[in-house]
Amino acid sequence: MRNTGSRDRVSGSSHLFLAHEDEEIPSRPLRVALIAPPYFDIPPQAYGGVEAVVADLANGLVALGHDVTLIAAGKNGTAARHRTVWDRTIPERLGEPFPEGMHAILTRREVELLMASGELDVIHDHTFAGPLNASHYSALGVPTVVTVHGPVDSDLRRFYRALGTDVSLVAISDRQRSLAPELNWISTVHNGLDPQHWPFAKQKQDYALFLGRYHPDKGVHLAVEAAHAAGLPLILAGKCAEPVEQRYFASEVEPRLGAQDQVVGVADAKYKRELLANARCLLFPVQWEEPFGMVMIEAMVCGTPVVALRGGAVAEVITDGVTGFICDTPEELPEAIAKVSTLDPEACRAHVDRRFSAKRMSAGYVLAFRRAIAARTRAHSRKMRV
């Protein structure tokens, strides 16, 4: 049987994948287990980019007719069935090793129950330690798809390389995927959101916004300097809980703040949407290989353009001169801020609706799931023939 090369139409990626004839890829509704981290609610009430993606994906898959079980902590805010493995979310333990290992043990038990009842075609894991269960699941006939939400740096690159073909990896940007091309990527699927859950404002107020973690990678001090140079007040809403965040804020951000700036802490879901919708622009002066940057599409869906430094997936998310401006140096940021009033808020929202909707994301993952199932079937067939 011949192999055919196909373009990943959902992500727009130029990467090729090999697949056998279409009849090897099941077309019926899928039975999917979504495994989420235990730290924040789904959807999150405030901070939680991964959790926001998981929530929209769960709802999107159900809307497409698939049978979805969400394995997570806390309460269920999605249309999927829910299996709780912790009494509550544990945000205070983010970054500790114990919750990662314990969560992998607890979710494995739930997955095994789904397998035993014949209610599972594919596992979609969004955690760090969870993929260590993948070889066990594969031996029982169910493939594991893993979304790589973070940067593929030296440690994570080695981790996913060691997992090999036990997991089928999904990249959240072509740039992320290109930095580790040897990994077992099965698809590129950009993050998405449901536009109907986000407000739109055509008239903007006189402030720029930074929204994210207070981490050197996010270039928060550059956002402060650029807003000041452009003569625009800055509102900062960010997470400042981890020691590195606290040190950076105290040494590099706080000393630069002026009387016109406001630091509002971590914004809850409602306040976050208000800040994004009313801002003149979102500042995103990243200093690292940003794998995606959810806050950029959150701003644009509200009709708010993004002024960013080129890095990571920024150029995949922003259309320069249409939905924001991409600068090559920090010195270019103030001029770009001054020009954002020339951009059309409706074009920003249409851009997200067209390229980064939850519906598009969900369709992309369905394709990835079917590829993983087909690959697992072919591998099993080869093993049986040996």
Judge whether 384 lies within some domain.
Answer: no
Looking at the structure, do residues 22 and 66 belong to the same domain, yes or no? yes
* In a domain? residue 50: yes
Q: What is the pLDDT of residues 141-183, one digit of tens each?
A: 999 999 999 999 889 999 999 999 999 999 999 999 999 999 9
The answer on 232 and 119 residing in a single domain is no
Is residue 83 located within the same domain as residue 199?
Answer: no
| Regions of the chain where pLDDT drops below 50 | 1-24
- The count of structural domains within the chain is 2
pLDDT tens for 7-34 read 343 444 333 333 333 434 557 899 999 9
Domain of residue 136: give its range.
4-193+357-377
* Domain identity same for 162 and 300: no
Do residue 222 and residue 147 come from a single domain?
no
CB 296 within 8 A of CB 282: yes
Assess whether 177 and 315 both reside in one domain: no
The pLDDT of residue 179: 96
Does 330 lie in the same domain as 371?
Answer: no
What's the confidence (pLDDT) of residue 118? 87
- The string of pLDDT tens digits covering residues 316-344 is 999 999 999 999 999 999 999 999 999 99
Residues 368 and 331 in one domain: no
Whether residue 43 is preceded by a cis peptide bond, meaning omega within 30 degrees of 0, is yes
CATH of the domain at 169: 3.40.50.2000
Q: Cα–Cα distance between 375 and 386 in angstroms, integer?
A: 17
Report the pLDDT value the prediction gives residue 75, as an integer from 0 to 100.
Answer: 83
Taking a C-beta distance cutoff of 8 angstroms, is the pair 252, 363 a contact?
A: no
Q: Are 324 and 186 within one domain?
A: no
- Measure the CA–CA gap between 201 and 3, rounded to whole angstroms: 49
Dihedral (Cα; 203, 261, 244, 154), 10-degree rounding: 40
Give the residue from 238, 193, 241 showing the smallest Cα distance to 95. 241
> Is residue 385 included in any domain, yes or no?
no
pLDDT of residue 295: 97
DSSP 316-327: HH--BTTTEEEE
